Amino acid sequence: MEVKLKQLSKRYGGKQALEEVTLTWEEGIQGLLGPNGAGKTTLMRLLATLLAPTSGSAEIDGVPLADKGRIRELVGYLPQEFSFYPGMRVAEAMDYLALLSGVKGAAERKRRIDALLEEVNLTAHRKAKVRALSGGMKRRLGIAQAMIHEPKLLIVDEPTAGLDPEERIRFRQLLARFAEGRVVLLSTHVVEDVESSCREVTVLKGGSVPFQGNTQDLAERARGRVWQAEMDKKEWAAAGSRYKVVSAVAAGSSMQVRLLAEERPFPDAVASEPTMEDGYLCLVGKGGGAAL
Ligand SMILES: Nc1ncnc2c1ncn2[C@@H]1O[C@H](COP(=O)(O)OP(=O)(O)OP(=O)(O)O)[C@@H](O)[C@H]1O
């Protein structure tokens, strides 16, 4: 199972949202990271056949994107804004969506719905009306509906938004199990989700892909550029306008600041081990600073 993109492009009027993206994703959970407006939603909607590319092509498990009918059977999608029929009960809504996704046979649908509701911890709410679910529960229902037809490519956009820490861990485990023999594309702003779930990550920026590969290799992009220093609040404010500050923690009257800089920014700054987030920030820039 592979997903292959070849010079895939999307233009909205005068706006080039995705520019000649060529890459291959193999089985497993693939992280997709990028700042606002990078083109992530556009890419996901193209793969879910909700948008047509301006040029270029893609194949999912050998099936060309242009073959919409077969592609829809192969792809499951949880969009960021996911809404459901509020008056339906949870199990009914799942059954309806399973039917729409082409899952044949009432007994087979029931088997899959029971298993998935258990996996997303909604069994006790199967008779609840969708409108009565909390935000996190609706998110879990969205995850379950995207998996109901056992797609070869599962695309999930910010799936852990609104989940509590326990549910977030549970969800990561569910994705890990589901990813066997499949590609799961996990788009998120939560770098921690990528760090804990993915071996590989794709970074989108301005419609192009400046990095695709191992999360460890992304961290390495920041080696020698991550510094830690203790400073007072005035120095901290000044540092923020010159450097990319990754984090700042108050320690009494002073601050423990972690920042990115090409060279040692202060005489007493100490070089720090880079994380994937540091590598990502070096590539895309953050706040006041440009990319390093
Ligand atoms: N329907 C549209 N018409 C015109 N421009 C659009 C349209 N949809 C998206 N864009 C533009 O295309 C670019 C990519 O948008 P996209 O929504 O794919 O980014 P994103 O990475 O998903 O952003 P976010 O993280 O904010 O959701 C942006 O500049 C956006 O303004």
Structural domain spans, the chain = 2-215, 224-273
* Cα–Cα distance measured from residue 276 to residue 130, given in angstroms and rounded to the nearest whole number: 37
Closest ligand 1 atom to residue 18 Cα is 14
For residue 126, give Cα distances in angstroms to 120, 132, 140, 173, 189: 11, 11, 12, 22, 30
What's the gap in Å between 85 CA and the centre of ligand 1? 26
Mean residue pLDDT of the chain comes to 92
Q: Which amino acid is residue 157, in one-letter code?
A: D
What ipTM describes this predicted complex? 0.97
Across 16-21, average pLDDT: 97
Q: Which percentage of the chain shows pLDDT scores above 90?
A: 71
279: closest CA among 230, 211, 228, 229?
211
Which of 225, 219, 200 minimizes the C-alpha distance to 275? 219
207: β partners: none
Counting ligand 1 atoms within 8 A of each CB, the residue from 9, 10, 11, 15 with the most, and so the one to mutate, is 15
23-37, 157-171, 182-196, 255-269, range with the lowest pLDDT: 157-171
Residue 287 pLDDT exceeds 60 = no
What are the residues facing 12 on neighbouring strands?
15
Protein residue closest via CA to atom 3 of ligand 1: 12
Residue 290 reports pLDDT greater than 60: no
The pTM assigned to this predicted structure is 0.90
Q: Which CATH class is domain 2-215?
A: alpha beta
Q: Check: CB of residue 58 under 8 Å from CB of residue 65.
A: yes
